[in-house]
Chains A and B, each alone.
Chain A
């Protein structure tokens, strides 16, 4: 057991999975000698050499396309796209091929690969360095979309993603990389993909969040408890797709009120799908309209304005109070 931040926890997962399975390769821009721009792949190159930890040419379609070929051959590439905002240069490879080979070949071929991408705002970065675009991947049949919220679940989910027989898009929130440390067990640990976790329990309200927004939801729940005497279920989604509808519906059936928090723009975002699932599964339990606290429907603004775009604790608390007062 060691206290690790998310960067070190992800690195541990990669180290251990590469040790466990010689078919696991790491590929991306600057992932080798440099250890990745966020240091997630640090020391892998030293441990496993340049054949398994590949400093690729600077080309996203090439990285994902070649990794698809490797995966079709039976290897398990873990690709790093340096920032999720650059992934549109390989989006066609992800959508057209990674997600479809199993179906296209009726099960003869499959693509066991992980596509890691740092995402999210709040780190005072340039354009294309702060977006939250999980909805694009969650919408694609054949893909899984995973977003951890802390060091321990990041490590366990990355290990699970590497062992998964299907392609997994794995978002890592940049603001979480060094945010806090957690006890992470030394021995390998995995978590089931497709399962949300209830990280705080209460009877009055359900808060649904993931990734960088989980901290915001938890802090809002704490304030609501302290100041309003309101008890909240806080659900950490962990996997956006396939969505754990069961956990959400069970909670809302109990509380009757729900606030969904996400950093992606609102319209057609994951919150809409979660809300529709609640309507399907817990309509008669609802006491108030489903509320969403999200980024605005604007291109992610420059860093002088980003705090006004990304949901914060005050906005979540305000939305919760409106919901509770409905």
Chain B
């Protein structure tokens, strides 16, 4: 019996539209109207300025641990149709506003991906015109939930787009220690879905690939995996020191590919850069921070309010005990228990 190569053979494409100097490959231009380009640029600038401001706020002790995205703005902004700013803690305890269509972030890596598949299944079941976008990093592709989610999505053929932010580093572990695959995009092929690798620092390439994937999902042609090749220019979180594991040369090399300066160069050539945009964005950020800092201190009792739809008796008792402790200025005191009738020697009935 012969050994024969199986058909079809697979290919994985790489997509880049703007080069590092902001020159456009007109054959691949997604053809965005000027207003749309301006909206994208403003969103990227807002993301960058906010990111830098948040790191400073953390250093001043005004917010908790923060995970910056500097360098990944193109990968993130261009794949969402509407920019959603979500300050955990801005609303009480991190409650998304009612019109917001995104879920709170999921800290355990990759565990959000099966949720995205279920959301897409439900949307399809209800015959709603909905496409679900799911975001994760290169490290997440090592997790079992990544595998299960892509496998389910492939089998169920649901409208979901998996967007991998391959920023080269999962805290201190480089991509080559994460996977022996040449690309992350190629992993899609094993699940029977298309995968594409894009220049993640090229906002127009990310936009083009995302639009194509969303259109495919909308048309009922199933899920897509997009790998955005990008770089985390800053720290993993404000508790991280990247000088321990990567070189300044490597960072400098990626700074030359900065997605924001590249897009700015393109916008300048097209005469689409608005004067005073930076000041406008900074003002918006300052106003948001002022709003956040004026928020009343969190009420500890809120921790009980959303554990169940209805508070079970034990939880009600714990809530009352804490409330009583807070009122009397002794929040740490022991729970109070009523003496339980009947007392010893007062019981009815035989022993």
Contacts and interface: CB of A to CB of B under 8 A. Distances in A.
Given A66-B118, A203-B349, A105 B94 contact: yes
A305 B337 CA distance: 43
A93 interface: yes
Contacts of A97: 106, 111, 115
Nearest to B88: A104
Contacts of A141: 307
Contacts of A243: 314
B337 to A, nearest CB: 5
Interface in A22-71: 25, 51, 56-57, 59, 61-62, 64-71
Contacts of A166: 308-309
Interface string B177-204: 0000000000000000000000000000
Contacts of A109: 103
Interface in A281-306: 281-285, 287
Contacts of A284: 339-340, 343-344
A69 B148 contact: no
Interface residues of B, number: 54
A92 B111 contact: yes
Contacts of A77: 118
A72 B106 CA distance: 14
Contact of A59 (B104, B121, B151, B340): B151
A83 to B, nearest CB: 18
Contacts of A249: 340
A223 interface: no
Interface string A242-259: 110110010001101000
A105 B104 contact: yes
A92 B116 contact: no
Contact of A62 (B148, B315, B339): B148
B108 interface: yes
Contacts of A59: 148, 151-152
Contact of A142 (B104, B116, B307, B349): B307
Interface string B98-125: 1000011010100101111111111101
A85 interface: no
A119 B160 CA distance: 35
A102 B152 contact: no
B91 interface: yes
A267 interface: no
A65 B120 CA distance: 12
Nearest to B97: A108
Contacts, number: 159
A160 B169 CA distance: 47
Contact of A69 (B108, B121, B337): B121
A280 B339 contact: no
Contact of B341 (A73, A144, A253): A253
A280 B306 contact: no
B65 interface: no
A69 B306 contact: no
B3 interface: no
Q: Which of B126, B148, B309, B348 gathers the greatest number of chain A CB atoms within 10 Å? A: B148
Contacts of B126: 73
A110 interface: yes
A102 B311 CA distance: 13
Interface in B293-351: 302, 305-309, 312-315, 337, 339-344, 347-351
Nearest to A250: B340
B149 interface: yes
A70 B121 contact: yes
A122 interface: no
B145 interface: yes
16 contacts: A57-B148, A57-B151, A57-B152, A61-B148, A62-B145, A65-B149, A66-B114, A69-B115, A73-B118, A102-B308, A105-B95, A106-B302, A243-B314, A254-B347, A280-B340, A283-B340
Interface of B: 91-96, 98, 103-104, 106, 108, 111, 113-123, 125-126, 144-145, 148-149, 151-152, 155, 302, 305-309, 312-315, 337, 339-344, 347-351
Given A68-B115, A106-B93, A249-B340, 18 more contacts: A61-B145, A62-B152, A65-B113, A69-B118, A69-B120, A71-B118, A72-B122, A73-B123, A73-B126, A97-B115, A102-B306, A104-B104, A107-B95, A165-B309, A166-B308, A242-B315, A281-B337, A283-B340
